[in-house]
Amino acid sequence: MKQKLSIIKIGGNVIENQKELNRFLDVFAAMEGPKILVHGGGKLATQIAEKLGIESKMVGGRRITDEEGLKVITMVYGGLANKNIVAQLQAKGTNAIGLSGADGNAIRAVKRPVKEIDYGFAGDVEEVNAQAVDKLLQANFVPVFCAITHNGDGQLLNTNADTIASEVAIGMSKDYDTTLYYCFEKKGVLMDIADESSVVKHLEPGNYKELLQQKIIADGMLPKLENCFHALHKNVGKVCIGDIEMLDSNATLFTTITL
C-alpha cells in the first residue's frame, strides 16, 4: 500500500495577506505525513517590478516574461516569497526547504513555443525528477517549490504554479498515493460567484461540461480545472479545490474533482 502524499498549491491572494498566510501555514504545518507546498507570487512580482520601474506585460491574464521581468520573478518567487514562507514554516516546527525547479534538477521545462503570442521566458513542464524530490521527503524535509523551472541549459523559466503542482503530483504518483489541493480564497468551484455557500461539492466530466456551457465556469478557473483533470488522468489519486478550511480533516465545504 502506497504512503499518502499531500501536494498543496497556495494562491497569490493568500501569500500577499500576511494574516491569511500565517493561518494557512499553521494548518499546513499541522498536516501529518509527507507534504509538498507549491506557490506563485505574481501580484507581488508586479508590485516590486513597478517600484523598479519595470513594466509587467499581461495578455489574457498570463504574464509575458521578458529578460527584465524574469530577473524580478526570480528575485520575488525564488527569494522574497519562497524564503519568507520557508522561514515561517521553520518557526512552526516544519523543516521546510525552499526550491526552484533548477534545484536538484527537480523540474525541467521547455520554453513555450511562439504561436499567436510570444510569452518570452515562459516554461512548459517537461519532466519532474521524482527520485530527487523523494530523497528530500525521505530525509523528512518539506519541499516548498516556487514557480520557476529550468531547461537544463542554464536558462530559468517562469512556469505556472498550478501546472507545477499538477505535474509534481503526477510525477510523485508512481510511488505515493497523491492528493492534490488547490488552496485559494474561495470555498471551491461556485455556482454563483457572489455566494460563497454555492459550492459545487463534486465535479466530474459530465457536470463540468454542463457548467462550461452555462458559462458558470470561466476565465481564471478554466486553466486550474484543466490541470485538475489532467492530473487525475495521469493517476493522481484525488484533487480538491477550496480555501484554507479544506485542509481540515473535518471540512465538508469544498470541491472534490473525480473522473
Question: Which positions make up the binding site for substrate?
Answer: 41-42, 63, 158
The HSE-up count of residue 89 (CA atoms within 13 Å, CB side) is 25
Which residues make up each annotated binding site?
41-42, 63, 158
Q: Is residue 242 part of a domain?
A: no
Return the CATH number at 86.
3.40.1160.10
Range with lowest mean pLDDT among 21-35, 54-68, 101-115, 130-144: 54-68
Q: Which three cell numbers stand for residue 126?
A: 517537461
60 pLDDT exceeds 80?
A: no
Report the percent of the chain where pLDDT is more than 70: 99
pLDDT digit string (tens) for 233-254?
A: 999 999 999 999 999 888 889 9
Residue 156 within a domain: yes
Answer yes or no: is 221 within a domain: no
Q: Is residue 15 part of a domain?
A: yes
Mean pLDDT of all residues belonging to the chain: 93
* pTM listed for this prediction: 0.95
Q: What percent of the chain has pLDDT over 90?
A: 74
Question: Within a domain: residue 232?
Answer: no
Q: Please, which pLDDT band fits residue 185 given cuts at 50, 70 and 90?
A: confident
pLDDT surpasses 80 at 220: no
Residue 231 lies inside a defined structural domain of this protein? no
Is residue 236 domain-resident? no
Q: State the pLDDT confidence band at 42, using cuts at 50, 70 and 90.
A: confident
Assign 129 a pLDDT band (cuts: 50, 70, 90): very high
Among 84-88, 155-159, 161-165, 194-198, the minimum mean pLDDT is found in: 194-198
In a domain, 81, yes or no: yes
Say which residue, 17 or 24, is predicted with more confidence: 24
Q: pLDDT band for position 194 (50/70/90)?
A: confident
What is the pLDDT confidence band of residue 170, given thresholds at 50, 70 and 90?
very high
Could you write out the three-class secondary structure of the chain?
Answer: CCEEEEEEEECHHHHCCHHHHHHHHHHHHHCCCCEEEEECCHHHHHHHHHHCCCCCEEECCEEEECHHHHHHHHHHHHHHHHHHHHHHHHHCCCCEEEECCCHHHCEEEEECCCCCCCCECEEEEEEECHHHHHHHHHCCCEEEECCEEECCCCCEEECCHHHHHHHHHHHHCCCEEEEEEEECCCCCCECCCCCCCCECCEECHHHHHHHHHCCCCCCCHHHHHHHHHHHHHCCCCEEEEECHHHHCCCCCCCEEECC
Query: Which domain covers residue 17, as residue numbers?
Result: 3-183
Per the CB < 8 A criterion, the answer to whether 5 and 33 are in contact is yes
Query: How many structural domains compose the chain?
Result: 1
- Mean pLDDT along residues 55-63: 79
| Res 112: pLDDT | 94
